[in-house]
Amino acid sequence: MVDAALANGTADTECMFEVFGRRLPGARRYGIVAGTGRLLEMIRDFRFQETELSWLRDNAVVAQRTLDWLSDYRFSGDIWGYQEGEAYFPNSPVLTVESSFAEGVVLETLILSVLNYDTAVANAASRMVTAARGRPVAEMGSRRANEHAAVAAARAAYVAGFDATSNLEAGRSWGIPTMGTAAHAFTLLHATEEEAFRAQIAASGPGTTLLVDTYDIEKGIETAVRVAGPELGAVRLDSGDLPTLVLEVRKQLDALGAMNTKITVTNDLDEHAIAALAAVPVDSYGVGTSVVTGSGSPAAGMVYKLVARKDDDGNWVSVAKTSQGKVSIGGRKYPVRRLNDAKVAIEEVVYVGDGPETSVHSNDHERPLLVQLVESGEIDPQYTGPAGTAKAREHRARVLAELPADASRLGRGDPALPTRFVS
């Protein structure tokens, strides 16, 4: 597209691209925007190096004119979007890119690959946090994702309310609290379970978490408390009928004098399994496969569409697809979250034809949803790095408190808020 636009003189046409999802994946009731902080850093650093240009040249992918243009590529436009951690609904304009056609269109795959994956993880993680009802949840899914997605997933889960990750690179890069326990391999390394427990306690202290289900759970707990004493930090359960098992383990720990020893559970948990454990004395959860795969919806289904372009007189012209089942809504947009007197969200209103920098629609009952992320190619650093990640996490907590109560239901259903477009 860039090659053709450069050839026919349309590459510099000022355009507006928009990211939105036509529906919420898995018929969920709300989504959580995630990945924005990662994306901004990638856009800032997005370049075509000589190795890439040489490959494009050697394989005759584009003309030399396009190679010259790519060699100088620096995004110089504006980007507005929903703040990371914000709730979104079908057709929410979660990101808008205003730039020349060529500058904006070349970012499509980068933008969608980040937002679709990170948002899918955050959508699942947010539901798991709700199901946990205030009990800590840790992300432990690195071995179920590729090496780069594992770090992105840990970050997205943290934005959505998870408390920690077992991925140390995510801790180093994004300031996420880290945690971990021993695996069955450590127990199997030793001649006896007691030797393994003694070795772990010698290294980490009695406040560590011991994995007690390599062999017989009842014997494992007896050994754990005998070796660590009543100050044993926690035991981890990774198998069995968890609702029944947790009750039995709690009873045994209390009988052994380890009343303050916590119980953490893993074992292929998702939001439904976590909800099923609400009535038993679980202290924390570790979630792996389900969170890094979006709990059945591994992509958020977001698309990137051209919604407006300027004509020869400098006026914005709305453009939109009319394909059956894939209709888009053209025009510049200004979305707000409408609240009732109790500050509970009741609908999302999208004003069409007005940009965020000029709209006069908002009032005391309408919370503007767009923030400027990039201005003339310069990213806003408050949304990046560890501080930006923490900011996104805090924003998600505020947003969830604003949604109506039925937004937290785990069953399939309609979006918690309707979206209304106003021209």
What does the pLDDT average to over 177-189?
A: 95
**Residue environment code for 181-207, b if the CB has 16+ CB neighbours within 10 A, otherwise e:** bbeeeebeeeeebbebbeebbeeeebe
Average pLDDT, the chain: 96
CA triple 392-393-397, angle to 5 deg: 115
What does the pLDDT average to over 164-191?
A: 97
Ordered by start, the domain boundaries in the chain are: 2-122+297-422, 181-282
What does the pLDDT average to over 394-409?
A: 96
Amino acid at 141: G
Listed range (17-21, 125-129, 314-318, 370-374) with the worst mean pLDDT: 314-318
pLDDT in the model for residue 23: 94
Sign of CA dihedral 139, 164, 251, 281: negative
pLDDT in the model for residue 400: 96
Q: What is the pLDDT of residues 325-375, one digit of tens each?
A: 787 899 999 999 999 999 999 999 999 987 776 666 567 899 999 999 999
pLDDT in the model for residue 327: 79
CATH tag for 181-282 (out of 3.20.20.70, 3.40.50.970, 3.20.20.120, 3.40.190.10): 3.20.20.70
DSSP result, 79-142: EEEEPTT-EE-TT---EEEEEEHHHHHTTHHHHHHHHHHHHHHHHHHHHHHHHHTTS-EEE--G
Q: What is the pLDDT of residues 68-78, one digit of tens each?
A: 999 999 999 99
What does the pLDDT average to over 251-261?
A: 98
State the CATH architecture for 2-122+297-422.
Alpha-Beta Barrel (3.20)
Over 90: is that where the pLDDT of 407 sits?
yes
Over 90: is that where the pLDDT of 230 sits?
yes
For residue 379, what are its two tokens?
A: 């990213």
Cβ neighbours of residue 304 closer than 8 Å, sequence gap 6 or more: 17, 18, 19, 108, 111, 112
pTM over 0.85: yes
pLDDT in the model for residue 247: 97
Report d(CA 361, CA 363) in Å as an integer: 7
> In which band, very low, low, confident or very high, does the pLDDT at 409 lie, cut at 50, 70 and 90?
very high
Amino acid at 220: G
In this structure, how many other beta carbons lie within 10 angstroms of the beta carbon of residue 416?
20
pLDDT in the model for residue 356: 74
> In which band, very low, low, confident or very high, does the pLDDT at 306 lie, cut at 50, 70 and 90?
very high
> In which band, very low, low, confident or very high, does the pLDDT at 410 lie, cut at 50, 70 and 90?
very high
pLDDT in the model for residue 328: 86
pLDDT in the model for residue 322: 86
The CA–CA distances, whole Å, from 272 to 279, 280, 398 equal 13, 14, 24
